[in-house]
Structure 1
Amino acid sequence: MSQLETSTVQQPRLPFWQVWNVSLGFLGVQFGFSLQNANASRILSDLGADLHSLSLFWIVAPLMGLIVQPIVGSASDRTWSRFGRRNPFILFGAIAAALGMAFMPNAGIVVAIVAPIIFGGVMLALMDAAFNVTMQPFRALVSDMVPSEQRTLGYSVQSLLINIGAIFGSMLPFILTNVIGLENTSRAGEVAPSVIWAFYIGATVLLGSVLWTVMRTKEYPPEQYNAYKGIDTQKQQQERKGSLLQRLIGFFRLMLNMPRTMRQLALVQFFSWFALFIMWVYTTPAITQHVWGVEAKWFDSAYLDSIGEIPAHIAAAKGAAGDWVGIIFAAYSLFAAIFSIALARLAQVIGRKLIYALSLALGGLGYISFLLFQGGEPTQVNLLITEVSVPSGALGLLLPMVGVGIAWAAILAMPYAILSDALPADKTGVYMGIFNFTIAAPQIISALLAGLILKSVFDNQAIYIIVLAGVSMLLGAFSVFFVRESAEAEPELETGTVF
């Protein structure tokens, strides 16, 4: 066996702008994902979904992640083509996501063929599956291309770009309404024009940024990659010859014998993503009720069917609240982007675990403080691009977004920076896919429980489910202290063969 196959060659450090190029496509992915997060509940409500059933529609997202990411991770680990290792999956996923974004807000046009709410749910599933196909290889691409000493920088840059995309994606419907002049109200069974055009623009940005990364990032060929990572080429080739059954057995053994660090991070991930899921699903009804004063009955499809047309003032309030959700989501993404710039340095100074725990604690306090901002007198707000009048309570919600943004930046970067040093290089993709279980599972549990809790415990007063999210995030902060960091990957399984 040659030296190339048995020894590790020092992987070169990347210039800053190449680290930037590796992650730039994630800007577009998050642009589209943020449009979905800020507007999916609004779209589904417009198409006829009940308030307590919203989380059941949203369960599609984590289910797609649970299914798609481990498969894509394993497949990309074993893919060596002239187009790259991760790049083909990233590009294919982006194309499929863009198609879903173009079709979902147009569910009303297929009413003669299928109920709009069903079509909207199917398109949501397509988008989520495609986002997962794209996201998972992006995580592994940073680990592949960036040497260990630059990992925290790499994931911090990725966090920064994610949040830049999220800022503009979240704000876009508001901009289209208040700057361009598109209508932000909708009729029963239809979606507001501002939201439809926002999704068209999001699909375009998604494809453009992903193409930039794919065209500007030349992945290492197998021999060079294996030399950098110290992978035994012959052993790797033998593993790939295993049968499907052997690969499945190997995959489940990898799950059972995952690195200790991954198991410990799973508890932190559970509380963090349980909270995030609640925020994405219920922020719109929460502030529509708590700040704009719209009663819970206006989110009940049976009640809406019984009265026919929605009163103009209720439609206007729901539209304004939906737009403002885009603004506060953009705000937490802005704060996350700013914090991402300092995150790598802070992690070096005070340690990754401490900065991670403090960030989650600030996020939890941010959610709980939603209670403090209710109604208020109309206040004129200058957003530089336009002025808008909102209740003073809505303006106050920008303060909790500081803590939420800091938590979000840490969630995007720190678990992966901590985990990547504990993974074997030849199985990074599949382990990153398995790690997605720790993101998907809490969201599925949240989807199954949150609507029930909202209806039976909180009487459909959505503000209290946001407070519950804050408590969950605080528990996540406490759980960080049980994580033990490791600079070395644990020994590989003897089988070594993975699905």
Structure 2
Amino acid sequence: MQKQQPRLSFWQLWTVSFGFLGVQFGFALQNANASRILSDLGADLHSLSFFWLVAPIMGLLVQPIVGAASDRTWNKLGRRRPFILAGAIAAAVGMFLMPNASLFVALIAPMIFGVLMLALMDASFNVCFQPFRSLVSDMVPAEQRNSGYSIQSLLINVGAVIGSILPFVLTNVVGLENTAKAGAVAPSVVWAFYIGATVLLGSVLWTVFRTKEYKPKDYYAYKGLDAELVEKELAVQKTLGQKLSEFFRLMKSMPDTMRQLAVVQFFSWFALFIMWVYTTPAITQHIWGVEVKWFDPVYLNSVDVPASIIAAKGAAGDWVGILFAAYSLFAAIFSVVLAKLADKIGRKVVYAGSLFIGGISYISFLFFQDLTPTTVNLLITQVTVPAGAVNLVLPMVGIGIAWAAILAMPYAMLAGALPADKTGVYMGIFNFTIAMPQIVCGLTAGFILKYAFDNEAVNIIVVSGVAMIIAGFAVFRVKEHVQVTRL
């Protein structure tokens, strides 16, 4: 007979997901600054998406393996927490090293070193992400699932706000330099990564040592599983071939809800990948008026780059941090009401509506070009930027709404459809629906940008808007699993 899983207090729900704040802090720093760092180290514009392929490939390889391993792990530290802690330590190492690529030039080319550290960070973030998703599914009873994932979404976005804005703050408040010499990284970005690594470790340690996972016997009872049967299955030693066979069997027999969500995930994450890779060049060109030629490494090596171009690139790069912080802030605010909206009008309506708003917001980038210098009071400092840069805060509201829904709704819809003893591996398999669209985008976006849009990056942001709208329509094809709790 299934035991009633205890409800968690607000602070227990908060603590379970608190480490995600630091992980997303680091992830936001990477998203807002990786293209900037790689460009400073010598990457050309249309090849950026190829370098960014490292992220989804790491997710594709790491998350299913970690998911399956965490399903089979029970030790003194717990089931999911050992992986969360190990991933956080490795990610912090990558964050300390990546912005210092130029220091290792005697051993390896800075560009290659930067890509290797990007791979290390992404692999480590994925080691953290997957067990965190499963930890919430393990610890939170079905009736609190909307709240659990909404709190997780809130914490993710709080971390993203701080991480995104940090280089701007270090430049405009602390006074660190935001421009970089050829083959080096701006000091403001370097120190932002140092701080991010520290916050990541601190928040993960809080969750790891303040969350007590259920003992196997209790966990299986709460999930309605036969503990002896599961433990016998886990005790069986399987060959690599058997493990692969079982993995592909699980993929083939995945719940229909997961298959249907995969279509939504494909188009929404295709859109997000474009945003992360190309927002910096898009607004540098479209809002700051920097010509496409100033993103061509061959041309840059043949001329003396004017100080005005260097300054414009630095200012635009900082402003991307503000914009990414803005959409994360709006996502955090929307996360507060997301669960209540989903409970009242349904997850699918909220999810689809959020994606429609996000898609329209991406397309609206086209209409905010205004080079008029405008002084903006950001409370912590005043800056002068083009009026179009200020106006771009408006579409960030819609993008933030979409991002909050993407972080919470698919997992809330999926969790009830998964067998409790296979949650980790299925959550890892579900990450295919995040990684694959990014890989497809990484392989195609650079060519689309170069040959369809002549490297005018704002146009590919419009493509992401169309993809997000398609994702919204696909939500209505998803059939949710209705979980019945047996008392």
Tell me which interval the TM-score lies in, with the shorter structure as reference length. Answer: over 0.9
- The SS at the match of 2:384 is strand
2:408 corresponding residue in structure 1: 413
Identity fraction in percent:
72
In structure 2, what is the Cα distance between the partners aligned to 1:383 and 1:11? 46
Contact 2:358 2:401 in 1 (8 A): yes
> Gaps (5+ residues) in structure 1?
1-6, 490-499
1:17 aligns with 2:11: yes
Q: What pairs up with 1:59-70 in 2 under 5 angstroms? A: 59-70=53-64
2:159 corresponding residue in structure 1: 165
2:124 corresponding residue in structure 1: 130
Q: What pairs up with 1:429-444 in 2 under 5 angstroms? A: 429-444=424-439
By how many angstroms is 1:242 displaced? 4.1
By how many angstroms is 1:247 displaced? 2.5
In structure 1, what is the Cα distance between the partners aligned to 2:397 and 2:243? 45
By how many angstroms is 1:248 displaced? 2.0
2:233 corresponding residue in structure 1: 239
> Gaps (5+ residues) in structure 2?
none
Provide runs of 4+ in structure 1 moved above 3 Å. Answer: none
Contact 1:423 1:488 in 2 (8 A): no
1:483 aligns with 2:478: yes
By how many angstroms is 1:488 displaced? 3.9
Q: What pairs up with 1:254-269 in 2 under 5 angstroms? A: 254-269=250-265
In structure 1, what is the Cα distance between the partners aligned to 2:7 and 2:243? 34
Q: Report the aligned-residue RMSD.
A: 0.8
2:325 corresponding residue in structure 1: 330
Offset from partner CA, 1:40-67 (integer Å, 9 cap, x none)? 0000000000000000000000000000
One-letter code of the match for 2:92? A
Aligned residues: 482
TM-score (norm 1): 0.96
One-letter code of the match for 1:342? V
1:277 aligns with 2:312: no
In structure 2, what is the Cα distance between the partners aligned to 1:281 and 1:291? 17
In structure 2, what is the Cα distance between the partners aligned to 1:227 and 1:480? 33
One-letter code of the match for 2:451? S
One-letter code of the match for 1:351? G
In structure 2, what is the Cα distance between the partners aligned to 1:488 and 1:399? 39
1:179 corresponding residue in structure 2: 173
Offset from partner CA, 1:221-248 (integer Å, 9 cap, x none)? 1111111111112221232204123222
Offset from partner CA, 1:424-474 (integer Å, 9 cap, x none)? 001000000000000000000000000000000000000000000000000
1:153 corresponding residue in structure 2: 147
The one of 299, 302, 305 equivalent to 2:298 is 302
Contact 1:169 1:202 in 2 (8 A): yes
1:320 aligns with 2:303: no
Contact 2:289 2:371 in 1 (8 A): no
By how many angstroms is 1:310 displaced? 2.3
One-letter code of the match for 2:244? L
By how many angstroms is 1:376 displaced? 2.4
Contact 1:353 1:480 in 2 (8 A): yes
2:357 corresponding residue in structure 1: 362
TM-score (norm 2): 0.98
In structure 1, what is the Cα distance between the partners aligned to 2:232 and 2:82? 24
By how many angstroms is 1:13 displaced? 0.1
In structure 2, what is the Cα distance between the partners aligned to 1:247 and 1:188? 48
2:106 corresponding residue in structure 1: 112
In structure 2, what is the Cα distance between the partners aligned to 1:246 and 1:113? 41
Q: What pairs up with 1:186-205 in 2 under 5 angstroms? A: 186-205=180-199
1:71 aligns with 2:65: yes
In structure 2, what is the Cα distance between the partners aligned to 1:54 and 1:323? 18
Offset from partner CA, 1:375-413 (integer Å, 9 cap, x none)? 321101011111100000000000000000000000000
One-letter code of the match for 1:362? I
Contact 1:293 1:375 in 2 (8 A): no
1:139 aligns with 2:125: no
The one of 78, 88, 91 equivalent to 2:82 is 88
In structure 2, what is the Cα distance between the partners aligned to 1:247 and 1:272? 31
In structure 1, what is the Cα distance between the partners aligned to 2:247 and 2:79? 20
2:46 corresponding residue in structure 1: 52
